Amino acid sequence: MNSIKNIFQTKNSQVLSIYFTAGFPNLEDTKSVIQELEKAGVDFIEVGLPYSDPLADGPTIQNSSQKALQNGINLDIVFEQLMTIKNTNKTPLVLMGYLNQMLKYGEDKFCQKVVDCGIDTLILPDLPMVEYENHYKQLFEKYGIKNVFLITPQTTDDRIKKIDDFSESFIYMVASSSITGAKGEISQQQIDYFQRIKSMNLKSKLVIGFGISDSSTFSKACEYANGAIIGSAFINFIEENGVDKIGQFINKIRK
């Protein structure tokens, strides 16, 4: 069974995922961040692949991606870092990157590296549905990889139902029609959107991201979904406080 789907077999609510950028704050921190997040008890970890043109990401994640690239990170190094913890890490990992990264690296080579690292779930925000249907669905099935689709407040019901049919891990609910980043409190407009999706009674599990930043927004998001992903707030925290304080951040979210 897919590692992320397996989580939802045993835990149906309050699922906490943390996003971080590989190679940030320092080149060799990838392994340490994952280890500290595992010790803190997060449910799954989203590892961001640094990219020079991250269209879906806000200033905080863009900045972390740029710093990681300046640190010398590249896909080969990320895969090498992930391989070093493959046999010890028990917290499922999801890779988040962009289609062009996979194309430049080589589709089959990329997928094989993902599997070699013990990862079976990808998030590619810029992967068009038609391309997935015509090519990538078959490619990912060849390697046993599950693709996570994103929906936004503007996604039509018909498209959401189609995504639901294709999803085998979870659906990533983008909390607002904007880039990533901490936004403060969840608005009524966002709640209306969450309620609309919840009322559709989809078969897939729902995880909310973009703008989830603290205990309050995490709890509110979990009223309408199975869990939530925190990214920018976490990246800001480790940049300001260091990797060794990660447990404090997670404890505050789960208080």
Active-site option among 29, 36, 43, 57 = 57
User: Would residue 223 show up in a list of annotated catalytic residues for this protein?
Assistant: no
- Between CA 121 and CA 146 the distance in angstroms is 5
CB 80 within 8 A of CB 115: no
- Between CA 4 and CA 146 the distance in angstroms is 9
What angle in degrees, to the nearest 10, is found between the helix axes of 29-40 and 246-253?
A: 40
Q: Could you give phi then psi for residue 95, rounded to 5 degrees?
A: -95, 130
- Between CA 83 and CA 73 the distance in angstroms is 15
User: Would residue 57 show up in a list of annotated catalytic residues for this protein?
Assistant: yes
Active-site option among 46, 80, 133, 158 = 46
**Sign of dihedral through CA atoms 98, 101, 106, 108?**
negative
Q: What does 100-132 look like in DSSP terms, one character per residue?
A: HHHHHH-HHHHHHHHHHTT--EEE-TT--HHHI
- Active-site residues, by number, are 46, 57
